[in-house]
Each structure stands twice: as C-alpha cells, then as structure tokens.
Structure 1
Amino acid sequence: MNFKREIIKDFYLRDTCVENIFINEYMTQAPGDYVKVYLFAIMYADFDLQMSNETIAKHLGMEDEDVLKAWSYWEKMGVVKKHYEKASDKFRYQVEFLNLKERVYGKKPKLQKTESKVPDRLKELMADDTIKDMYSEIERITGRLFTGKEPSEILSWIDDYNATPEMIVYAYSYCVKKKNHSNHKYVAAVVKEWTAQGLKTIEQIEDYLEETDNRHYLYKRVLRALGFLRNATEEEKRVMDTWFDQMGFSIEKVLDACKKTTGISNPNINYINSVLKAWSNGVDKPTPAHEEGKTGTGSISKVMKYYEELRASNELKAEGRRAEVYSRIPRVKEIEEESREIGLQISRVMLSGGNDVKNRIRDMKYRVDSLNEEKAYLMTENNFKIDYMDMVYHCPLCRDTGTQDTGDRCICFAERLAAIQKMD
C-alpha cells in the first residue's frame, strides 16, 4: 500500500514556517515595517520565487528605500545575509535567510571563553546532570532557548545566593505563570528575595507565597471597606500588620472600625489605626486629630454634607437596581450572600491557622470564582449588565467623597466649595 498527499498548487494557500526564535528574540524589538518585509519575503523564499525590492515595496505600500533599510537592519541583526551580484553595486543582492537556531547555538562557544570567570565549583556543576536537567526544564517553562550569558548567570545564583537548582526552576515557573515574566534578571530578583528570607525548600517557598497572598487579601479587604480600589502602600501594610500581629484584632473587628469612617471627610488608615488603638486601650471612640479644633460649620461642612447626601442618593438608586435584579433573578441574591459568607470564612481561616489551611482556602476561593461566573451568566442571560447593581458615582475620581485615594482633595471638592462660597 502506498500513501500520497495532495499537493496544493496555489502557494498562497500553503503555510510559511517562521522560527520561534525570530518571534521571541528578534521580532519584538524590530520596527513593524521591517517585520513585514521579512515575513513577506520569507514566504517567497520557501518556493524559490524571484522578488525584487521594488515589488516588495509596492505590495507592502512602502518606499523602496525603507525596504533596503529593512534588509540592512536584518543583516546587522544576523538574521539574513546579503550576497552581492557585483561588489561595486550595493543595491543589487540576493538575500539568504539564516538558520537562527544555528546562530543561537553558535553563541555558546563564547560562554566557554569566559569560563575562567566562573568559580571552580560552578565549572564542575556545568557537566552535572542535575544542572542539565535544570536548563532543559527552564527552556520548557519559558518556551525559548537560552541566549547570551543567561546560562552562566543562572549558575551564579547557586554561588551568590546559595540557591538550589530546584528553587531556580520553581522561580522560573512562578514568574512565568504568576507574573508573566521570563526575563532572567527578573527571575534573579525573585530568587534573591526568597533566599534573603531564608527559604530553602519548595515547601517553604509555597508557604511563604501563601502567607504573602493571604495577608495581601486582608489588605485589600480593609482598603475596599474604606472605598479604595488601589493596593496598599508599604507604610499602610506596616500599620495594618500591627493590627493583626500585635493588637490581635480579627478582620471582622478591623472592618467594624472601618465603619466608623462613615461621615468622616477623609477616611484613611491612620484614622482606623487611632480607632483600633483606642479599642485596644479600652476606649470606645477616639477623637481624630484631623477633626480637633474644627467647629463643623461653614462652607467646608456644607460641602461634606453635599457629598453625604449625594452618596445616600446613589446608594438608594443602587438599592433599587439590586431589588430589581433580586426580584427577577432570586438566585443572584443567594450567590452574593454565599460569597459574602465564604469571604468571612476565608478571613477566619487565615487568622486561625490550623491544619490544612492552604487547601481549605484554595477550595473556598475556587467556590467564590464559580459563584461569580454563575452570577455573570445569569445577569447577561437576563439582559442586565454585569455591573448593573454597582454604585454609580457622580465623580468617579473620588467616588463622591471629595478625597482621592492619594489623600488629596479631589478637583470636584474645590469646584463645589467655590460654588457654595459664591452662594454665601
């Protein structure tokens, strides 16, 4: 029995192979028109068809001069090689597309020339099967081959940071999957951070990442309760850490303190800190420093009253939209209540510790994601926008509080104050 594949005669219906090395290492840095020239010409090169620079320019809507510049650029990058018909004529030449795999592998002897700069202990490791496996696994994770000094720099982490091959592979996996980074300098910073924390095993690293992620979740809960959608600053993190680690407050108690900011003109972490300190010392409610000496009268008081009324009006409208959705889709209310309860459970588990915390939190977060997907489906299927129940603010910059996330007064505050003073 013989087998035969049908030959497609129209080459426009065929496929053109482009090396991944070109896409990953060269294309991303090249001018767009130069990439167009490369791809258009390599299509014709696969079928050994004649194509002049003038014709390429016409097809691509470019100037002839730009096509010539493209070939000079690619030759300089080592991607193609020009073969001149006459040494005296620099404008007529044949273009050879070079094998980029050979070019990359051709760089490796340069690494051997600098081996004398590599510590003796690392020289021995280069021939070790563990290191070879490490290199192979990293290339698999990143989806590219090593270039330049990357292999030797990776080895230096073992000597400089006392990192293990297992840790380095895990760092690459973490950076690619979680941070969308495969640059070895970025990975080096991660490895350095882990070793500086005294982490030595994968289990220790995972526990460290889990703890970091859990604490980040608590930070977000607090800021969200204050109406902020940004990440916490380093100083805010330090202050919040004292609430959980030194004062021993639960997340529920901290959120109760956040409720004390209702009606406060500039809710912030420092105010919450003063509330919690007072509670820790047995005092019911502190007098905020920024409120001391203020009479609460005058134009500023009128502006703050305006914001309070505006927020109340917006909340009333949002409640109406929520009631409309709950009436038409009762399941949405059930989903939100279950998600809220799971959020409280996650906070309790984070702070309580105990056995199998990591798996329990992972399962609960997975359940919340599933609930959110179901809610989104139900909303769209019933012709509601996903954010239909959300609060709609008159000023999205400050969310009708008069104060932006940076702590600065919003521009709308000055405008409203000027309007009130003018009426007065």
Structure 2
Amino acid sequence: MARIALYKDNYADSTVVSNLFIDEYMKDANDAQLKVYFYLLRMLNAEQAISVSGIADKFNHTEKDVIRALKYWEKQQILDLDFDDNKTLVGIHLRDLSTQAAPAPQHNVLLTSGPSQMQNTPAGVSVIPAVAIPQVSAAVVPTTPQETVNPYAKPAYSLDQLREFKEREETSQLLFIAEAYIGKPLTPSEIKTILFFTDVLHFSEDLIDYLLQYCVERGKKDFKYIEKVAVNWAEEGITTPKQAQKFSTRYDRSVYSIMNSLGRSTSPTAKELEFINRWTRDYGFSTDIILEACERSSLATDKHRFEYAEGILNSWRQANVRHKADIQQMDDSFQKKKTAKPASSGSSNRFTQFTQNSYDFAALEKEILSN
C-alpha cells in the first residue's frame, strides 16, 4: 500500500481533540473509526510516515477496516481523502471543525522522495524523507456558484446553524420523535436533513411526524430515501398530513400496479422511481396508458423492462397520445403499413412475380455448420 500525505487546516504542537467532535461525532462512531481518527490527530505532527497498512497493523484491523473508517469520516465531512489516477489513497486532509470550512491548507505534512527536496520546503512544513512518492499538493475545494435552480435543493448547513436549530425549544421534541421512529440517535447529517424539512420545505412538525411514520412503515429508515419522499411531497404542494395520506394512498396504488406489471414485487429503487415519476409528471400519462406500455414491455423482453417501457412511452408522447384509443389508432396504422404490398412497377416476369420468403438465418447457419 502506498504512503500517504496527511495535512490539515490549522497547526498545533500537540494532540488536540475538538470539543465539537466529542459532542457531535464521537457518540455515533464505532471503535475502529475512533481509533483511526485519533491516530491521525496524533500522527499529524509526528515525523513518521503513515500508511493504511501501518494503521491496520497498529490496531489489529484489516486495511479494509481502515479504509471504511476513513470513508466514514469523509462522509461526516470532517476530513477529505485524496486519490491518484489509479484510485490509490495518497492524502488525508483534516478539516478545521471550528468552522467546518475547507480553505487551502496552510500547514502540511508532506511525504517526499528524498533529502534533496528539503531545501525548497516552505516555512511551517515538516518534511519526512525516504518515501518514494511525489509531493502531494494541497487539497483544493472547488466553489460552486450559488444558483437557485432547484427550489428544493438542500443547503450546506454550517455547524452554527445546526447548533442554533438544536437549541430551539420545539426542536427537542421533533428530534425525540425522529429518533423513536429510526430507533437510534440521529447523526449531525440526519439532523441537518430534519432542519432542511423545516427550513426549506416548510414542513410542520405534524407533517414531519407523518413523513417518518410513512417511510418507517415501509421499511425505509435511510434518510436519503426519506428526503426524496419529502421533496416529492413538497413538489406536489402537500402541506398537511391529511393531504400526504391521500396522496400516498393514490401514489402507492399506482406505483404498485406499475411495478407489478413489470414483474417487480418490491419497492421501487431510486432509478425505477425516476422512470415512474417521468412517465406520470413529465409525460403526463394516466396510469392505464403506462400499464399498457409496461405490459407490452413485459411481453417483449425479460431484461431492461423499464428502459423498454421508456422507449414506448416516449414515442407515444411524441405522437401526442392521450387516450388508449389513440394507441389503437397507432397500432392499426402500423399494421396497415406492415401488410401493404409494394406498388407494381408495370413489368411482369418470373422475377418480379417471385414471392420472397422470410428465413431464420441463425437457424440456417446452425444447420449448415452441423452438416
């Protein structure tokens, strides 16, 4: 396993653990994740090279355990992982938890290829020699323009905003309800999602309560799924639990029918849900027309039925199909074109009067090869 560079935002000549880490992140982490993070803090200013295999040996874990722990902390947005073109881990950027920002690092631990590079080392940077990899440049966090393209886009809430939300009087009850449904304490990321429901989607506590109940009853405790359902409700203009219940009943019935007609007996995946939403919202088809396309897809193929149905419905949309009678007219027109004979050229001989046959060339080739 290649050596990796480790660097952070701020520098301190000691091992310091942020109070915010202890308050917000430590309680949800497992043993391996905590060991890896604390070890990174300890080794940040030590003049020793580190590697994934070295960390694994240190704590009697596998390298996969170490990678999983690193990716967990990256998901929690307290560090960033740098990979080369071969997808090999070459750098770890520890973020400054006091701001949750990711500016260009000012103090790095660079892993260099030899003593010759020490002469050009910037001030405030510790150099560790005899590691055979190129110098790793500082992590650059791209900035994205603040365009309000999607009114239901989830903001990147800061820790100050999260802290302010948790300190509200009404929030404690809401978080208690959420934890009761999910069956575990909420992570900071999940709390930010609850904040998104109230701040951007403007959901009431009753509606959030019903949202969580609705998803958990269907076996869905993943907050990504819950967020997708919430955005769907917001797009439909749902503001009360009664509206949500009415919409869910209608939605569940139609989605189940579509899934069933395509040979699926499970809940739709995110990709399958994307297809169904496109057919109902973007194309504006009623359920009976969608079911017709799905049944034709199921008869035509055993694989990629959603994609096949998409092709049928897209062609019907372009043909301005709105009722099943329109589909019948298209079928009749196609059949007439298929059975129409080519116009006579006026000449009549034994070649033009010859009736062509339809051959199964694959079967013919197989028969020829067997002789």
TM-score range, shorter chain: 0.3 to 0.5
Q: Per residue, is there more strand in 1 or in 2? A: 2
> What TM-score results when the alignment is normalised by the length of structure 1?
0.35
The answer to which structure, 1 or 2, has the higher relative contact order (CA under 8 A, 6+ apart) is 2
Q: Per residue, is there more helix in 1 or in 2? A: 1
> What TM-score results when the alignment is normalised by the length of structure 2?
0.39
